Chain A
Amino acid sequence: MPSRPFEILLVEDSPGDIWLTREILMQGPIPKNISVVTDGEQALDYLFQRGKFSGARRPDLILLDLNLPRVNGLQVLTQMKKDSGLRAITVVVLTTSEARSDINAAYDLNANCYIVKPVDLEQFTQAIRGIEEFWMSMAVLPTTLPPMGAEEAQAEPKASGTPAESNGSGLLGSKLRRRLMSPRLVRYPGRYAHSPVPGRRVGSRRFGGARS
Chain B
Amino acid sequence: MPIEAVVAASEILLLAKREEEIAVIREATDCHSLSVVSECPDVVSFLRQQGKYANATRPDLILLDMDLSNTEECEVLTEIKKNSEFKRIPIVVIASSERYEDVFHAYDLHANAYIRKPADRTELVRVLRATLQFWLTLVRLPKQ
Beyond contacts A133-B134, A134-B138, A138-B127: 6 other A-B pairs, Cβ-Cβ < 8 A, are: A87-B107, A110-B81, A139-B113, A139-B114, A145-B98, A145-B100
> Which residues of chain A come closer than 8 Å to B90, judged between CB atoms?
107, 113
Tell me the smallest distance from the CB of B83 to a CB of chain A, in Å.
11
Q: How many residues of B contact A (CB 8 A)?
A: 32
Please name all residues of chain B whose beta carbon is closer than 8 Å to the beta carbon of A110 when the two chains form the complex. 81, 87, 110
Complex CA–CA separation, A133 to B105 (angstroms): 23
Q: How far is the CA of A208 from the CA of B99 in the complex (A)?
A: 48
| Interface of chain A, main secondary structure | mixed
Residues of A within 8 A of B103 (CB): 140-142, 145
A interface size (C-beta, 8 A): 36
Q: Taking the complex as formed, is A153 at the interface, i.e. its CB lies under 8 A from any CB of chain B?
A: no
Within 8 A of B (CB), among A74-129: 84, 87-90, 98, 100, 103-104, 107-108, 110, 112-116, 126-127
**In chain A, what residue has the closest Cβ to B110?**
A110
Residues of B within 8 A of A114 (CB): 139-142
Is the pair B104, A171 in contact by a Cβ cutoff of 8 Å?
A: yes
Evaluate whether A107 and B87 lie within 8 angstroms (CB atoms) in the complex, with A90-B107, A113-B112 already known: yes
- Least CB distance from B113 to A in Å reads 5
As a 0/1 sequence over residues 120 to 137 of chain B, the CB contacts with chain A under 8 angstroms (1 = contact) are 000000010011001100
Q: Contacts of A135 on B, CB cut-off 8 Å?
A: 113
Q: Which residue in B84, B99, B131, B141 is a CB contact (below 8 Å) of A134?
A: B131
Verify if B143 is at the interface (C-beta below 8 Å from A): yes
From B98, which residue of chain A is reached at the shortest CB distance? A140
Q: Does A148 sit within 8 A of B, measured CB to CB? A: yes
Please encode chain B, from 83 to 104, with 1 for each CB lying within 8 Å of some chain A CB and 0 for all others.
0100111100000001111011
Q: Does the CB pair B105–A141 fall under 8 Å?
A: no
Interface residues of B in 29-43 (CB under 8 A from A): none
B107–A142 touching, CB < 8 Å: yes
Supply 26 A–B pairs (Cβ within 8 Å), ascending by A.
A84-B108, A88-B108, A90-B113, A103-B141, A108-B84, A108-B88, A113-B112, A113-B113, A114-B139, A114-B142, A126-B138, A127-B138, A131-B138, A133-B134, A134-B131, A134-B138, A138-B115, A139-B114, A139-B115, A140-B115, A142-B104, A145-B98, A148-B101, A171-B101, A171-B104, A171-B105
Which residues from A are CB-within-8-Å of B116?
Answer: 140
Q: Measured between alpha carbons, how far is A24 from B87 in the docked complex, in Å? A: 32
CA distance A98 to B140 in the complex (A): 9
